[in-house]
Amino acid sequence: MRWLALLAGIALLAGCGGEPSASCDVVVVDEERAKDIEPLEDGGNYTIEFETTHGSFTVEIDEQVAPCNGSSTMQLAQDGFFDDVAFHRIVPGFVIQAGQSTKTPDGGPGYTTIDPPPADTRYRKGVVAMAKTELDPPGTGGSQFFVVTGENVTLPPDYAPIGQVVEGMAVVEKIGKLGDAQTQRPTEEIVIEQTRVSGL
C-alpha cells in the first residue's frame, strides 16, 4: 500500500466506493489545449523527476488518491509543459509552488481535473499537492502544484495531494529558503529545466 493511502487513512475516492473511476472528469477551459485524461492504473510505479537550476528532486505519484490529477500532471511533465517554468511562490517554512507557464495564455493547461481529497488528509513535509483558487471545488487541479516544506502544515483538506518527494528533499528545502516571507516571492530565480517521467 502506498504511503499516501496510509496518510489519508483509506484510499477512498468520493463516489467511487474505493475503486478508481473508469474515466476522469475534465473541466475544459480551452478546447484546443484540453486532453482526455485517463486515471492511472493501480499498482504502477509512477514518478516525476524535476531537474531545476538548484538541483533535482523526484516525486512518487500516488495513483490511489490522485488517479486523475496524478495522470494529468504526469502527462504535462511528459509533454514538457513544466520545462523553463519558474517557482513563483516560496514561503519559507510552508511551501514552494510552481507550474504557472508563460507559454500559455492563462498559465494553465487549458483544463482542470478533480480528485476530492479524503477528509483526514494531512499536508506533511514533502507532500506534493495541486494548487487552486478559493472558488475552485476541493481537489481541483490544473498545472500549478506545491511542495510542503514545513512540518505538519495546517491546511483544510481542499488541495488534491498527488504524491510525495522521495528523492532530493534537501534540494526542496534549499529552494524553500529562497523566498521572502512577506511577499511570498523567490529571492532569486529558480527554474524547472526539464522533467523526466517514469511509469506511463
pLDDT, one tens digit per residue, over 9-53 is: 323 333 333 445 578 989 998 888 878 899 999 988 999 999 999
Tell whether domain 3-10+22-198 is in CATH 1.10.630.10.
Answer: no
Residue identified by cell 475544459 is 28
145 neighbors 98 (Cβ within 8 angstroms): yes
On whether the CB atoms of residues 120 and 161 are closer than 8 A, the answer is: no
Do the beta carbons of residue 67 and residue 39 sit within 8 Å? yes
Indicate the domain borders of the chain: 3-10+22-198
pTM for this one? 0.87
Residues of the chain with pLDDT under 70: 1-21
Place of cell 508563460: 102
Q: Are 53 and 190 in contact (CB under 8 A)?
A: yes
Max Cα-Cα span within the chain: 46
Question: DSSP label at 66?
Answer: -
Q: What is the pLDDT of residue 21?
A: 54
Q: CA-to-CA distance for 59 and 62, rounded, in angstroms? A: 9
In tens, the pLDDT along 84-93 reads 999 999 999 9
**DSSP per position, 143-170:** S-EEEE-STTB---TTS-EEEEEEE-HH
- Going by their DSSP bridges, the two strands 140-141 and 111-114 should be labelled as antiparallel
Region of 80 please: left (phi>0), alpha (psi -120 to 50) or beta: left
Using a pLDDT cut of 70, give the percent of the chain over it: 89
SS3 content of the chain, % helix, strand, coil (to 5): 15, 30, 60
pLDDT of residue 49: 98
Distance CA 62, CA 2 (A): 7
- pLDDT at position 16: 36
Q: Cell numbers at residue 44, please?
A: 504502477
